[in-house]
Amino acid sequence: MNSLRGGIAGIGMTSARTRDRLVERLRSHGIRSEIVLNQIRSVPRHLFVDEALASRAYEDTALPIGHGQTISQPYVVAKMTEALLDGFEGEKVLEIGTGCGYQTAVLAPVVKKIYSVERIPELLRKTKQRLRELDIYNVQFRPGDGWAGWPKYAPYDGIIVAAAAQVVPDKLLEQLAPGGRLVMPVGPPGYQQLTLVRHLHERFEQSPLGGVSFVPLVPGS
Protein backbone atom coordinates (compact mmCIF):
# COMPACT_ATOMS: atom_id res chain seq x y z
CA MET A 1 0.00 0.00 0.00
CA ASN A 2 1.17 3.50 -0.76
CA SER A 3 2.51 4.82 2.53
CA LEU A 4 1.00 8.28 2.12
CA ARG A 5 -2.45 6.91 1.44
CA GLY A 6 -2.14 4.13 3.94
CA GLY A 7 -3.13 4.12 7.52
CA ILE A 8 -0.68 6.62 9.07
CA ALA A 9 -3.44 9.00 10.00
CA GLY A 10 -6.08 7.80 12.42
CA ILE A 11 -9.37 6.82 10.87
CA GLY A 12 -11.16 9.67 12.62
CA MET A 13 -9.40 12.46 10.82
CA THR A 14 -9.70 10.96 7.35
CA SER A 15 -13.17 9.52 7.59
CA ALA A 16 -15.81 10.40 5.03
CA ARG A 17 -17.90 11.94 7.81
CA THR A 18 -15.16 14.34 8.84
CA ARG A 19 -14.68 15.50 5.26
CA ASP A 20 -18.41 15.73 4.64
CA ARG A 21 -18.72 18.02 7.64
CA LEU A 22 -16.13 20.36 6.13
CA VAL A 23 -17.93 20.31 2.78
CA GLU A 24 -21.26 21.10 4.43
CA ARG A 25 -19.66 24.00 6.27
CA LEU A 26 -18.29 25.44 3.01
CA ARG A 27 -21.67 24.96 1.37
CA SER A 28 -23.37 26.83 4.21
CA HIS A 29 -20.82 29.64 3.78
CA GLY A 30 -21.84 30.07 0.16
CA ILE A 31 -19.65 27.77 -1.93
CA ARG A 32 -21.95 26.54 -4.71
CA SER A 33 -19.71 24.75 -7.21
CA GLU A 34 -20.16 20.98 -6.91
CA ILE A 35 -16.89 20.52 -8.80
CA VAL A 36 -15.07 22.49 -6.12
CA LEU A 37 -16.91 20.86 -3.21
CA ASN A 38 -16.08 17.44 -4.64
CA GLN A 39 -12.43 18.36 -4.85
CA ILE A 40 -12.41 19.57 -1.25
CA ARG A 41 -13.98 16.27 -0.25
CA SER A 42 -11.50 14.15 -2.16
CA VAL A 43 -8.15 15.89 -1.53
CA PRO A 44 -6.57 14.42 1.66
CA ARG A 45 -5.67 17.69 3.39
CA HIS A 46 -4.12 15.86 6.35
CA LEU A 47 -1.26 14.82 4.05
CA PHE A 48 -0.34 18.48 3.43
CA VAL A 49 0.41 19.34 7.05
CA ASP A 50 2.73 18.03 9.74
CA GLU A 51 1.57 14.83 11.38
CA ALA A 52 1.22 16.72 14.65
CA LEU A 53 -1.44 18.93 13.02
CA ALA A 54 -3.15 16.21 11.00
CA SER A 55 -6.04 15.91 13.44
CA ARG A 56 -6.95 19.53 12.65
CA ALA A 57 -6.65 19.20 8.88
CA TYR A 58 -10.40 19.15 8.23
CA GLU A 59 -11.12 22.20 10.35
CA ASP A 60 -11.87 25.27 8.26
CA THR A 61 -8.69 27.04 9.31
CA ALA A 62 -5.23 27.96 8.01
CA LEU A 63 -2.37 25.96 9.59
CA PRO A 64 1.41 26.48 9.68
CA ILE A 65 3.52 24.55 7.15
CA GLY A 66 6.98 25.76 8.24
CA HIS A 67 9.21 28.53 6.82
CA GLY A 68 6.73 31.05 8.30
CA GLN A 69 4.12 30.03 5.71
CA THR A 70 0.62 28.57 5.99
CA ILE A 71 -1.72 26.17 4.24
CA SER A 72 -4.70 28.28 3.26
CA GLN A 73 -8.09 27.92 4.95
CA PRO A 74 -10.27 25.44 2.98
CA TYR A 75 -13.03 28.06 2.56
CA VAL A 76 -10.57 30.47 0.94
CA VAL A 77 -9.16 27.77 -1.36
CA ALA A 78 -12.72 26.82 -2.33
CA LYS A 79 -13.71 30.45 -2.90
CA MET A 80 -10.65 31.18 -5.04
CA THR A 81 -11.05 28.00 -7.07
CA GLU A 82 -14.74 28.67 -7.62
CA ALA A 83 -14.04 32.24 -8.77
CA LEU A 84 -11.29 31.06 -11.12
CA LEU A 85 -13.37 28.28 -12.68
CA ASP A 86 -16.65 30.19 -13.04
CA GLY A 87 -16.93 30.56 -16.80
CA PHE A 88 -13.31 29.46 -17.18
CA GLU A 89 -12.38 28.65 -20.72
CA GLY A 90 -9.03 27.33 -21.70
CA GLU A 91 -6.34 25.07 -20.42
CA LYS A 92 -3.47 26.81 -18.68
CA VAL A 93 -3.36 28.12 -15.12
CA LEU A 94 -0.49 29.97 -13.51
CA GLU A 95 -0.29 29.55 -9.73
CA ILE A 96 1.86 31.85 -7.62
CA GLY A 97 2.75 30.60 -4.13
CA THR A 98 2.70 26.79 -4.38
CA GLY A 99 3.39 26.35 -0.66
CA CYS A 100 2.46 22.83 0.43
CA GLY A 101 0.51 22.30 -2.80
CA TYR A 102 -2.99 21.98 -1.35
CA GLN A 103 -4.51 24.56 -3.71
CA THR A 104 -2.58 22.92 -6.56
CA ALA A 105 -4.06 19.51 -5.70
CA VAL A 106 -7.60 20.90 -5.53
CA LEU A 107 -7.23 22.53 -8.95
CA ALA A 108 -5.09 20.01 -10.87
CA PRO A 109 -7.75 17.38 -11.68
CA VAL A 110 -10.15 19.98 -13.11
CA VAL A 111 -7.80 21.91 -15.43
CA LYS A 112 -5.46 20.70 -18.15
CA LYS A 113 -2.17 22.16 -16.97
CA ILE A 114 -0.86 24.17 -14.01
CA TYR A 115 2.38 26.16 -13.95
CA SER A 116 3.28 26.82 -10.32
CA VAL A 117 5.89 29.23 -8.93
CA GLU A 118 7.21 29.18 -5.33
CA ARG A 119 10.05 31.23 -3.86
CA ILE A 120 11.13 28.74 -1.16
CA PRO A 121 12.92 25.87 -2.95
CA GLU A 122 12.84 23.58 0.08
CA LEU A 123 9.06 23.83 0.31
CA LEU A 124 8.80 23.16 -3.40
CA ARG A 125 10.90 20.01 -3.19
CA LYS A 126 8.61 18.43 -0.64
CA THR A 127 5.51 19.57 -2.48
CA LYS A 128 6.65 18.05 -5.79
CA GLN A 129 7.09 14.70 -4.10
CA ARG A 130 3.76 14.94 -2.25
CA LEU A 131 1.84 15.65 -5.45
CA ARG A 132 3.56 12.80 -7.26
CA GLU A 133 2.51 10.45 -4.49
CA LEU A 134 -1.05 11.66 -5.03
CA ASP A 135 -0.74 10.83 -8.75
CA ILE A 136 -0.87 14.46 -9.85
CA TYR A 137 1.30 14.92 -12.93
CA ASN A 138 -0.12 17.90 -14.85
CA VAL A 139 1.80 20.50 -12.84
CA GLN A 140 5.08 22.11 -13.81
CA PHE A 141 6.96 23.77 -10.93
CA ARG A 142 9.51 26.53 -10.76
CA PRO A 143 11.40 28.05 -7.88
CA GLY A 144 11.34 31.81 -8.37
CA ASP A 145 9.72 35.16 -7.88
CA GLY A 146 6.00 35.23 -8.52
CA TRP A 147 6.06 39.01 -9.11
CA ALA A 148 7.57 38.18 -12.50
CA GLY A 149 5.02 35.46 -13.31
CA TRP A 150 6.36 32.80 -15.67
CA PRO A 151 6.68 34.43 -19.10
CA LYS A 152 7.84 31.28 -20.87
CA TYR A 153 4.37 29.68 -20.97
CA ALA A 154 2.26 32.88 -21.07
CA PRO A 155 -0.48 33.78 -21.76
CA TYR A 156 -2.48 31.94 -19.09
CA ASP A 157 -6.25 31.45 -19.13
CA GLY A 158 -6.28 31.67 -15.36
CA ILE A 159 -3.91 33.03 -12.70
CA ILE A 160 -4.29 32.28 -8.98
CA VAL A 161 -2.10 34.04 -6.43
CA ALA A 162 -1.87 32.68 -2.86
CA ALA A 163 -0.01 35.62 -1.33
CA ALA A 164 -1.03 39.23 -0.85
CA ALA A 165 0.17 42.50 -2.37
CA GLN A 166 -1.06 46.11 -2.44
CA VAL A 167 -1.56 45.88 -6.18
CA VAL A 168 -1.89 43.17 -8.79
CA PRO A 169 1.61 42.88 -10.30
CA ASP A 170 1.73 44.31 -13.87
CA LYS A 171 3.65 41.29 -15.08
CA LEU A 172 0.77 39.04 -14.09
CA LEU A 173 -1.77 41.20 -15.92
CA GLU A 174 0.50 41.08 -18.98
CA GLN A 175 0.51 37.28 -18.81
CA LEU A 176 -3.27 36.92 -18.52
CA ALA A 177 -4.92 35.84 -21.79
CA PRO A 178 -7.81 37.91 -23.17
CA GLY A 179 -10.95 36.42 -21.63
CA GLY A 180 -8.85 35.10 -18.74
CA ARG A 181 -9.45 35.34 -14.98
CA LEU A 182 -7.07 36.19 -12.15
CA VAL A 183 -7.81 35.73 -8.43
CA MET A 184 -5.62 37.32 -5.77
CA PRO A 185 -5.74 38.92 -2.31
CA VAL A 186 -5.11 42.67 -2.72
CA GLY A 187 -4.46 45.03 0.19
CA PRO A 188 -2.22 45.78 3.18
CA PRO A 189 -0.68 43.17 5.51
CA GLY A 190 -3.28 41.64 7.81
CA TYR A 191 -6.40 42.33 5.79
CA GLN A 192 -6.94 42.12 2.06
CA GLN A 193 -9.80 41.99 -0.38
CA LEU A 194 -9.91 38.77 -2.37
CA THR A 195 -10.09 40.20 -5.87
CA LEU A 196 -11.22 38.79 -9.21
CA VAL A 197 -9.71 40.44 -12.28
CA ARG A 198 -11.21 39.64 -15.67
CA HIS A 199 -9.37 40.45 -18.88
CA LEU A 200 -12.19 41.80 -21.03
CA HIS A 201 -10.02 42.26 -24.13
CA GLU A 202 -10.13 46.09 -24.10
CA ARG A 203 -9.86 46.48 -20.32
CA PHE A 204 -9.46 44.73 -16.96
CA GLU A 205 -12.46 44.54 -14.66
CA GLN A 206 -11.91 44.06 -10.91
CA SER A 207 -14.51 42.75 -8.48
CA PRO A 208 -14.22 42.15 -4.72
CA LEU A 209 -15.00 38.68 -3.36
CA GLY A 210 -14.63 39.28 0.38
CA GLY A 211 -12.09 39.96 3.13
CA VAL A 212 -9.14 37.61 3.68
CA SER A 213 -5.77 37.53 5.41
CA PHE A 214 -2.81 36.10 3.48
CA VAL A 215 0.94 35.98 3.94
CA PRO A 216 2.69 38.64 1.82
CA LEU A 217 3.85 38.16 -1.77
CA VAL A 218 7.47 38.80 -0.93
CA PRO A 219 8.93 41.39 -3.30
CA GLY A 220 11.94 40.74 -5.48
CA SER A 221 12.73 37.28 -4.13
Q: Which residues are catalytically annotated?
A: 72
CB 123 within 8 A of CB 69: yes
Q: Does 100 bind ligand SAH (CB under 6 A)?
A: yes
CA distances from 43 to 104, 160, 175 (A): 10, 18, 29
What would the x/- binding string for ligand SAH be over residues 118 to 137, using CB under 6 A?
xxx--x--------------
What would the x/- binding string for ligand SAH be over residues 177 to 216, using CB under 6 A?
--------------------------------------x-
Q: Does 162 bind ligand SAH (CB under 6 A)?
A: yes
CB of 211 to ligand SAH, least distance (A): 17
Q: Does 116 bind ligand SAH (CB under 6 A)?
A: no
Task: Measure the CA angle with vertex 71, ends 66 and 76; round to 5°.
Answer: 160
HSE value, Cβ hemisphere, 13 Å, CA-based, for 50 = 10
Name the helix (H) or strand (E) containing 157.
Answer: strand 156-161
CB 171 within 8 A of CB 148: yes
In the complex, the residues that contact ligand SAH under the rule CB under 6 A are 69-72, 77, 96-97, 99-100, 102-103, 117-120, 123, 145-147, 162-163, 215, 217-218, 221
